[in-house]
Structure 1
Amino acid sequence: MAKELRFREDGAFKIVQFTDPEFAANDEEEQRMQAMMLRILEAEQPDLVVYTGDIIASASHPNPADAFRRACSVPERMRIPWAAVFGNHDSEGTITREQLHALQLTFPYNFAKPDPQGVHGVGNYVLTVGDKDRRASAALYFLDSGSYSPLEYSRMGFYDWIRRDQIDWYTRQSYRLTGDNGGTTLPSLAFFHIPLPEYNDAWDFGVCYGERYDTCCAPWINSGMFAAMIEMGDVMGIFVGHDHGNDYWGDWHGIRLCYGRTTRNAYLDRSFPTGARVIAMKEGERNFDTWIHLEDGTVYSEQARHEPEGRTPAIGARGMR
């Protein structure tokens, strides 16, 4: 029987986003992180867990598959459906993205899908959330935002970007789902690792909520992913990780651009407790709620307001995230 995501009887659907956990050595720090993740899942009781990249720190582990299995074991032991996209640190070592994607597909509660033919990257797929009659009522897009720029250390920046064939794939899926829904777009969310350049625009020129303690390490190339989502009119929110010291969100031209809350140490010179972002959708509504759940159990449903500064995003060396 095919795996299905469904809205609950009360019309709710809840997602917990874990980002940048960087499983590596099974040491005391990692075990504490795992315990935190399990506490958050026990408290929130989500319908889906999403890893938005840098699931493992593959370069620092002699057997990265073992580290990935430990990450997979968190939602698996809770019997919660889950899915993952990959970040720049996932495939730096002796394991490839293809191997990681194939591995996640072997787990009973994993809901990711095999890759479409002829589309750049690994881990591009779409899931639908059904209503009480099993009709698709919402869509969740998962995209591989890549790793490092193929032109790295050049004037084209350090990090990769979502490619044209991925954008074309997304628009085809959106057209298909809209057609199947009688011409009405499905309320949709998108998940990937590296933020779009528009995350800088939202912070610099719009009102945002939350913290920006880190550089927004978006690619310098704007390949048009955000514009395509505006044109299709289905995506309500985008969720990324990558920049461990950022957890802000802001509405930019009708799409809420959201960072997760880092699940691993933020590597900052200030306190920034780890945790998760939680997302709550409601069947039939083109809207969602989101909040931060921290390691100590604190829940922030309201984040600090940041007024636009109107500055041009800095162009310079990007640190590794």
Structure 2
Amino acid sequence: MRKSLHFKSNGTFKIVQFTDTEYCEPDEEELQMKAMMKRILEKEQPDMVIYTGDVIASNKSPNPIQAFKDAVSVPEEMQIPWAAVFGNHDSEAAEMTREQLHYLQLSHRYCYAQPDPPNVHGVGNYVLEILDGLHQPAAALFFLDSGSYSPLEHLRVGFYDWIRRSQIAWYTEASHRLTARNGGEPLPSLGFFHIPLPEYNDIWDFSVCYGQKLDAYCCAPLINTGFFAAMLEMGDIMGTFVGHDHGNDFWGTLHGIRLCYGRTSRNAYLDQPFQPGARVIQLTEGQRSFETWLHLEDGTIVHDQPAHIPEGRALKIESTID
């Protein structure tokens, strides 16, 4: 029997996003991270946990299978539904493929991920429905494999991979099917993948954003295959959530879609303090919107992240005030 997700009786559905946990072998840092994850889940009481890639650092691990089991052990032990997409570090070890990782996550009791659709690039492309009180689909969560490294580096095209056209075709078909079943009205939906879209650079450079960008730049692919345009055309995905850049936790809105970073759940590799933690996302049944906030390691809850106003926008605002 297929597992199903449901809005609570109060009409909400809460997700905790962990990202870039990069488990490799048990040490003090990983024990602290596991304790942090447990504290956050105990406090937030989410309906689902989602890992947005780099769940493990397979090339650093003597036992990648055990590392993955350790990474997901907290929601498993707490009996919380969870799912994951993969990042560039998950399958770097020669002996650990994405297919093996996906099979491994599907073997867990509380994993809600789904088998891959046929003839779609990547591993871990699936959609989950959230049901209302009448057991009808009321929202959807799309998961996509954003890949690892550019297959065209020999042509000096990029460094990181991108969402491929077969994945976009799969998404649009699944979205159309869900919309048709919903009487022609797109289901309120969210998207989860690891590597940010090129549009993440655009919103930081040209729009008002909220949060921090402490990495030098957004490590998005140089190739734009049009996934953002597909989301805009389908009209269902309200927000996307990524990881990858450990020092970034900002979000901004482009043409009505909120592009969000998670908050790294492990060391951000910065030369300044930056607490790890999680991003929390809450949907409300019947509403085409969502709330989101950060929950940091020390228990701090951040609802209002600092505004970032690009230089050109700041000048325009000042000119308007004058």
TM-score, normalised with respect to structure 1: 0.96
2:200 aligned counterpart, secondary structure: helix
Question: Which AA in structure 2 matches 1:223?
Answer: T
Counterpart Cα distance in 1 of 2:71 and 2:153: 29
Q: C-alpha deviations, 1:183-214, integer Å up to 9, x for none?
A: 00000000000000000001011110000001
Question: Which AA in structure 1 matches 2:231?
Answer: M
Q: C-alpha deviations, 1:70-95, integer Å up to 9, x for none?
A: 11211101100000000000000120
Q: C-alpha deviations, 1:275-301, integer Å up to 9, x for none?
A: 000000000000000000000000000
Q: Is the 8 A contact 2:25 2:62 kept in 1?
A: no
1:212 is matched with which residue? 213
Q: Is the 8 A contact 1:152 1:159 kept in 2?
A: no
Q: How does 1:81-92 map to 2 (within 5 A)?
A: 81-92=81-92
1:109 is matched with which residue? 110
Q: 1:148 to 1:142 in 2, by over 3 A?
A: same
Q: 1:213 to 1:231 in 2, by over 3 A?
A: same
Give identity over the alignment, percent.
Answer: 68
What are structure 1's unaligned runs of at least 5 residues?
Answer: 312-321
Q: Is the 8 A contact 1:204 1:310 kept in 2?
A: no
Counterpart Cα distance in 1 of 2:279 and 2:312: 27
Question: Which AA in structure 1 matches 2:257?
Answer: I
The alignment status of 1:256 with 2:258, answered yes or no, reads: yes
Q: CA RMSD in A?
A: 1.0
**How far is the alpha carbon of 1:269 from its aligned partner?**
0.7
**How far is the alpha carbon of 1:56 from its aligned partner?**
0.2
2:178 is matched with which residue? 177
**How far is the alpha carbon of 1:63 from its aligned partner?**
1.3
Counterpart Cα distance in 1 of 2:114 and 2:72: 15
Counterpart Cα distance in 2 of 1:202 and 1:253: 10
**How far is the alpha carbon of 1:152 from its aligned partner?**
2.2
Q: Is the 8 A contact 2:190 2:237 kept in 1?
A: yes
Counterpart Cα distance in 2 of 1:242 and 1:48: 21
* More moved, 118-127 vs 300-309: 300-309
What are structure 2's unaligned runs of at least 5 residues?
Answer: 314-322
Q: 1:20 to 1:254 in 2, by over 3 A?
A: same
Question: Which AA in structure 2 matches 1:119?
Answer: V
Question: Which AA in structure 2 matches 1:82?
Answer: W
Counterpart Cα distance in 1 of 2:311 and 2:99: 41
Q: How many residues align?
A: 311
Question: Which AA in structure 2 matches 1:232?
Answer: M
2:224 is matched with which residue? 222
Question: Which AA in structure 1 matches 2:298?
Answer: D
Q: Is the 8 A contact 1:56 1:64 kept in 2?
A: yes
Q: 1:153 to 1:262 in 2, by over 3 A?
A: farther
1:145 is matched with which residue? 146
Counterpart Cα distance in 1 of 2:288 and 2:207: 21
Counterpart Cα distance in 1 of 2:89 and 2:304: 31
**How far is the alpha carbon of 1:310 from its aligned partner?**
5.0
**How far is the alpha carbon of 1:159 from its aligned partner?**
0.2
Question: Which AA in structure 1 matches 2:37?
Answer: M
2:46 aligned counterpart, secondary structure: coil
Q: How does 1:156-305 map to 2 (within 5 A)?
A: 156-214=157-215, 215-305=217-307
1:140 aligned counterpart, secondary structure: strand
